Structure 1
Amino acid sequence: MIQSVYIHIPFCQHICHYCDFTKFFYNEQLATEYLEALSNEVNVQVSGEKNPVKTIFIGGGTPTALTHLQLKKLLSLISDKFDVWNCEEYTIEANPGDFDEEKAKLLREYGINRVSLGVQVFDDVMLKELGRAHRIEDVYKTVDLLKQQGLNNISLDMIYSLPNQTAEHFERTVKEALSFDLPHYSAYSLQIEPKTIFYNRYKKGKLHRPAQEEEVKMYEILKKNMKQAGLKQYEISNFAKPGFESKHNLTYWNNDYYYGFGAGASGYLPGKRTQNIRPLPAYIKQAMDDGKPVLRIDTIGLKEKIEEELFLGLRKLSGINKNDFQSKFGFSHDLLYSNEIMHLKQKGWLIEDVETIHLTEEGILFGNEAFEYFLLEDNDLEAIALTKK
């Protein structure tokens, strides 16, 4: 069964200086054409109506940049195709300041039960430098408006290690975010991605990022304050009150299957990963022609599936469940990784107990280096095949 659905809405009223997601300046006519193409893609790829799924996530871009009528059309499409009322988690991404009462009511009426707000930082000057359109007061107004409509499952997203940011400055952002007493928070270190405004500044030596030691200090501040506020860290960048962990994101980290619809969207189906066409005119044309606007399909064999199981699963603080691995692949993880696990334990990056293997706090800081130990050679699987004969 396909667990989850991701739907990409690529339109923004403003383009943030750090963002490398598939996004375009909002244009009403283009957005209308896009929704028609998206509808055709979904209907071609998924037959029937009211299909059961565990989670739905509308991301962007900025989905709430759509007009009220366009947003209603989008939500109607999703409601017709998927059983939203029995869906465990139905999330939409939004920017503070994008809502009026009418839009907030629309979300509730169509079954959305979770909103992820891109707050980034509680500093108006820094928000402007990031290219964000909202200001601090918009966060307060938006959270209040959502709660008035009964939308209490709200997540605030933050970014740290911003240009000219100090650890003390970031701690003020964390404390103000926690003052909302929301059930979920995410915080990500700024990544300088190609084809962004920040990347161009960085190449010219005009973007001054905090030193690595300062970034580590910010991460420690984040963890400390979240723990003090009663929020449990369940993934490298995510914290939640019990029961409010993001079920949709856990689909990714558990390496489960999901649809990906829209320009630039990725999907994971049995045996393959797909990526859609990114340029908007090309996506619209192909989606309208045959409903299959796929740019590339990568075959996921056993080797790739095992590697991804480790890379993604170790992002969770709970790590990899040994019994689950055995059930999924038919053999113990020890047959492939006993030496690697022993080495990582000696480095102090990994802990192994009766049921799980998971990264230590130090291991999380060196996560990408730790993940490299779990890359496989083709002959590793050949050896497994021989032992099973």
Structure 2
Amino acid sequence: MIKSAYIHIPFCHHICHYCDFNKVFFKQQPVDEYIESLITEMHHAKEVNKQQEPLKTIFIGGGTPTALSAKQLDRLLEGISTELLSTNELIEFAVEANPGELSIEKLEVLKNAGVNRLSIGVQSFDDELLNKIGRVHRKDDVFRTIKQAEQVGFDNLSLDLMYALPGQTIEQFRETLETAFTLNVKHFSAYSLIIEPKTVFYNLMQKGKLTLPPQEHEAQMYELAMEEMERHGFKQYEISNYSIPGYESQHNLTYWNNENYYGFGAGAHGYVNGLRTSNVGPIRKYMENIDESGTAFSAQTEVSKEEEMEEQMFLGLRKVKGVNKETFYKRFSVKLEEKFGSQIQKLVKQGLLVDDDESLFLTHKGKLLGNEVFQEFLIS
């Protein structure tokens, strides 16, 4: 049963230097037509999959969903409510937002449509660093956006933070954390910068014009995040995510639990009935495909049982609780130790995993070397 949906809005008023998501500049784009295509795609998916049960989580990401006007947001949310069955039963209805782009009018549109969680892309409270990474908002914009969200009635706010940024010191990241803890938010995501191909930063790095903190400083920033989050009452429940207990991202747990979800929009990915799906990226090509058939898949890949077990491991181990042995057995009819015994023994011996009666999870050292752990379970 499909309980979640990701909806992609590929429009941005400004492109950040590190971003490799499917996105285009907002100006002169067929935004209204794109929204109608999204609604058509949702309708088609509901019909094909005979979706009777209400969804439990929806996440609208991008790009920048808040680049849409209040009227455009209202039409999108109306379509979601119509095509994805009742949104009244959603546990979590989350929207990604940029500081400075959320007016009171847009916030009221979101709130009235049942959106109950905002994920705000802050990245840093250092204006110089924000400029360096291509963000157009500033520290004061974050404060204003949060104040306005609270005025409208949002009480479930999450902030995205980044570290290991070009020229960033450990002390600068500490200051960002200290500022973050003064705000009335319930959740933080803290990610290290990853240089992806086809980004401004990648091109600068190729030319030798990008100075990044050394790896040991990146590791220290991660450890600092873990320590300070814990000290301020935010429990780490996934490698990069921390929350006040009860405010974990229910939508993202869909991914980490390796559960099914729809992926709607240009370049969106989904996992539906054993198929990993990906949509075409170019906006107009996506819209043409939707007009023709109601779908815009560029690929549909059947996930074998072997691959599904691997995914269960490297996704599940991202969670602090790790992979539950009973859940693994119920899903695959094989014991976790029988399938991955040699890998588990090796990683436990290296001090990267804990293997107890109920589950398998990362040690502190394992969190720092997570990618090395995950690769051990990619055997097919």
TM-score range, shorter chain: over 0.9
2:27: which partner in 1? 27
TM-score w.r.t. length of structure 2: 0.97
Relative to structure 2, which stretch is displaced further, 318-327 or 280-289?
A: 280-289
1:5: which partner in 2? 5
1:75 to 74, 77, 80: 77
Q: How many residues align?
A: 377
Q: 2:92 matched to 1:89?
A: yes
Tell whether the 8 Å contact from 1:64 to 1:93 is kept in structure 2 after alignment. Answer: yes
What are structure 2's unaligned runs of at least 5 residues?
none
What is the CA-CA distance between 1:79 and the residue it aligns to? 0.9
Q: How does 1:43-58 map to 2 (within 5 A)?
A: 43-47=43-47, 51-58=53-60
Tell whether the 8 Å contact from 1:349 to 1:363 is kept in structure 2 after alignment. Answer: yes
1:172: which partner in 2? 175
Q: Deviations along 1:177-199, whole A, 9 cap, x unmatched?
A: 11103110001000100110010
Residue 262 and residue 112 in structure 1: after superposition, are their counterparts in 2 closer, same or farther (change >3 A)?
same
Q: Deviations along 1:115-142, whole A, 9 cap, x unmatched?
A: 0000000011111111111111110000
Q: 2:57 matched to 1:60?
A: no
2:214 to 208, 211, 221: 211
Amino acid at match of 2:69: T
Amino acid at match of 2:265: G
2:362: which partner in 1? 359
Q: Deviations along 1:227-256, whole A, 9 cap, x unmatched?
A: 110110000000000100000000000000
- SS in structure 2 of the partner of residue 182 of structure 1: coil
Identity of aligned residues (%): 48
Tell whether the 8 Å contact from 1:49 to 1:80 is kept in structure 2 after alignment. Answer: no
Relative to structure 2, which stretch is displaced further, 25-34 or 189-198?
A: 25-34
1:342: which partner in 2? 345
1:235 to 238, 244, 248: 238
2:275: which partner in 1? 272
Amino acid at match of 2:45: Q
- SS in structure 2 of the partner of residue 281 of structure 1: helix
In 1, Cα distance between equivalents of 2:70 and 2:274: 38
Q: Which runs of 4+ in 1 moved over 3 A?
A: 48-51
What is the CA-CA distance between 1:320 and the residue it aligns to? 0.5
Q: How does 1:369-380 map to 2 (within 5 A)?
A: 369-377=372-380
Q: Deviations along 1:247-305, whole A, 9 cap, x unmatched?
A: 00000000000000000000001221000000111111111221111101111010110
Residue 272 and residue 355 in structure 1: after superposition, are their counterparts in 2 closer, same or farther (change >3 A)?
same
In 2, Cα distance between equivalents of 1:306 and 1:233: 24
What is the CA-CA distance between 1:29 and the residue it aligns to? 5.2
Residue 28 and residue 52 in structure 1: after superposition, are their counterparts in 2 closer, same or farther (change >3 A)?
farther
In 2, Cα distance between equivalents of 1:39 and 1:155: 27
What is the CA-CA distance between 1:53 and the residue it aligns to? 0.7
In 2, Cα distance between equivalents of 1:127 and 1:232: 27
What is the CA-CA distance between 1:51 and the residue it aligns to? 5.0
What is the CA-CA distance between 1:50 and the residue it aligns to? 8.0
Tell whether the 8 Å contact from 2:22 to 2:267 is kept in structure 1 after alignment. Answer: yes
Q: How does 1:227-266 map to 2 (within 5 A)?
A: 227-266=230-269
In 2, Cα distance between equivalents of 1:181 and 1:219: 22
TM-score w.r.t. length of structure 1: 0.95
In 2, Cα distance between equivalents of 1:80 and 1:361: 45
2:306 to 298, 303, 307: 303
Amino acid at match of 1:84: T
Amino acid at match of 2:298: L
1:117: which partner in 2? 120
Tell whether the 8 Å contact from 1:50 to 1:79 is kept in structure 2 after alignment. Answer: no
- SS in structure 1 of the partner of residue 30 of structure 2: helix
In 1, Cα distance between equivalents of 2:24 and 2:53: 30
Tell whether the 8 Å contact from 2:39 to 2:83 is kept in structure 1 after alignment. Answer: no
Amino acid at match of 1:40: T
What is the CA-CA distance between 1:27 and the residue it aligns to? 2.8
In 2, Cα distance between equivalents of 1:281 and 1:43: 19
Tell whether the 8 Å contact from 2:10 to 2:64 is kept in structure 1 after alignment. Answer: yes
In 1, Cα distance between equivalents of 2:143 and 2:291: 40
Tell whether the 8 Å contact from 1:49 to 1:81 is kept in structure 2 after alignment. Answer: no
What is the CA-CA distance between 1:365 and the residue it aligns to? 1.2
2:147 to 141, 144, 147: 144
